[in-house]
Structures are given as C-alpha cells and as structure tokens.
Amino acid sequence: VTTNGAECMKHYLNETVAFIADIHTITKIKSTMKEKSEKQQLSNLTEDTLGGQLKAGLAQYLALEFTKGGQRDAKAIVRFLPWLYNPPTSVQQGAKDFVDCIDRIRFLSWLMIGSLTHAAITRNEGTIICHPLPVDASQSIADYILYILTGFADQSKTSVIHMSSLFHSFILCQLWTMYCEQVNRGHDPEALVAIMDFWARITPGILHLLSHSKVLAEMVNLHFLSLIEALQEINSIVLANLFAMWVPVLYTHQSQLPAHVQVRLQTCLNHQPSSETQGDLRFMYAILLKWLNRLQFKIGQIETQSSHAAQFYSL
C-alpha cells in the first residue's frame, strides 16, 4: 500500500533536520508518553527507547532524501546543512561555539545511523544505495571532531552538555568510519582514502588530549578502547589496517594500564573474526544492525541526560 508519506514529508525536510538535531526531542517524547501512561494508569515499556527509534527512523528517511538530492546536485546537501563545510576555527572557542559544534556532531551521528541502518536492512541491494554525505566532507567532519578534542580540556567542566562532547565525537568517529567503509564496498576507492586521511587528522588530536593530564588520559583511553571494540565487532577494514598503530596510543600517558582496561584490550588482541562474518553478507549486516540499535540507545540516553542538565544551564 502506497501512502505517499515520503512525498508529504519532502516539504518538511528542514523541520526534520531540526527535530533530529534538537537535544530535547527524546526528553519531550518520553515526557509525553509518561503523562499519557499515568492518565491511563498503564506502564509504558517503550518510553526509554521510542525517542531514539523515532530519531533513527527519521534519520533514515532524511538520509534517503539527501541521497536523492545528491544524485541530482552534488552540493545539494549544503542547502540543508549549510554548516557542513564550515567547521569552527580554533579562535572560536566560546561556550556557545562549542555547544553548536556538539549539536552538529550529534546530528551527523544520527544521519549516519539512518544511512547505515538502511544499508543493513536492504543489504545495500535496494533501488537506492543510501549515501547522504559525499566522502569529500570527511575533512570537514574531522575538523569538527578536532575542534572538540582541542577545546575539551578547557570546556568540559562548563556543563554536562560540554562533558558529553567527547562521547559524541568518538561515536561519530565510529559511524563515519563504517559509513566510508560501506561507500567503499560500493566500489568507491576514494572512500577508503578519505577515511584513512580522516584518521591521520584525528589521531594527533587524540594524542594531544592524552598528554594533557592523567584524568583526561583515562577518560580518552576508555572512549578510544570502546571505539576499537566497536569496530572490531563489525569487522572494520580500517581497524584491521590501523590496529597495530592504535594499541600504543592507549599507553601514551601510562606504561601500565588499569586492570579492567588491560583485560578489555587483551580481549581485543585475542579476537579472532568469525568465518561467518567474513563470508556471509546477511550475517554481517545483522551484526551491523544490532550494533546500530545499541548505539542509538546509547546516544538517546546521553541526549536525555544532557537535556535534563540543560534546564539548569544557559549560554
């Protein structure tokens, strides 16, 4: 049955972007559901997940529309994301600039979740291969993340929102890596070049933050290790190429890792890819989809926490 819902939504693409980008969206949805449940004296088991699922679903729709627009005009994306190719500079280190950067990183993460979810569901065999962002945006995306890494030491104590920036940055690193790998699987070798260049730009920023203090080093190490674990779970090509260089990064600030970190790292070192994940595309995409579902829940939880904190913080 055709509802023409997508056609109706085309008139509201900017509103959809704003809906996904709004850090309060999930909190508002959860609050509305809670009110209705209390009135009807019902327990609602989906109030913690529906907001993230809704954002991810709309992000998938948006990713498809951006893909269609990009097929007609390579720079069509700029109409909806005019900031994409204009990352902030190091002189723009105010609290407001920092929050704006976090918002854009969060939005890009949702967009990547939408794109990768579509790839996982269709196994990249649909009528449209969902690639909403051109790989030439990789440098700008790296610059957004570098902006956070550069300013995090000074800005992180400002609020919970600022503190969450490191989480969102590493999440986008994971998602952009997998996105470029998906584009590369579509026989675009430039995507692999772009993501390797992306990491060449990002890694010095990570090393800089690791050298700042012991507390920050421990925080960054946990995020970086989580990134390694995530990419390993989904058989990342990039991880296979960079793993040997990334492990020493964890030892930048300390020669001996905490026991719990050492155990997790050793698990990564001992990891042997399943033969199923290497040969069976269906199995590979099932793992990717499962990973994306967990990721959207995590992002949703952090956004909810930041939304609550934002009520007590104003720029």
Residue 103 pLDDT level (bands cut at 50, 70, 90) = very high
- pLDDT at 278 > cutoff 70: no
| 156 three-class SS | coil
Q: What sign results for the dihedral spanned by CA atoms 76, 137, 145, 117?
A: positive
Residue 41 pLDDT level (bands cut at 50, 70, 90) = low
Distances (CA, A) of 265 to 102, 121, 171: 28, 31, 19
Nearest to 178 by CA among 112, 122, 241: 112
Residues 283 and 277 sit within 8 Å (Cβ to Cβ): yes
> For position 157, what pLDDT does the model report?
78
Residues 110 and 292 sit within 8 Å (Cβ to Cβ): no
Nearest to 128 by CA among 178, 177, 60: 60
Cα 67-141-19 angle, rounded to 5 deg: 60
Give the separation between CA 196 and CA 108, rounded to whole angstroms.
19
> For position 2, what pLDDT does the model report?
65
Model confidence over 246-268: pLDDT tens digits? 999 998 887 888 999 999 999 99
- pLDDT at 43 > cutoff 60: no
> For position 262, what pLDDT does the model report?
93
| Total-model pTM | 0.91
Give the separation between CA 134 and CA 115, rounded to whole angstroms.
12
Model confidence over 157-188: pLDDT tens digits? 777 888 899 999 999 999 999 999 999 887 78
> Who wins on pLDDT, 119 or 161?
119
> For position 211, what pLDDT does the model report?
86
Region 231-247: mean pLDDT is 93
Model confidence over 180-224: pLDDT tens digits? 999 988 778 899 999 999 999 999 999 999 888 888 889 999 999
- 3-state DSSP helix/strand/coil percent for the chain, to nearest 5? 75, 0, 25
> For position 9, what pLDDT does the model report?
85
Tell me which residue has tokens 């390797």.
196
> For position 314, what pLDDT does the model report?
44
- pLDDT at 313 > cutoff 60: no
Q: What sign results for the dihedral spanned by CA atoms 192, 211, 216, 83?
A: negative
Burial 18-47 (b: 16+ CB within 10 A, else e): eebbbbebbbebbeebeeeeeeeeeeeeeb
- pLDDT at 227 > cutoff 90: yes
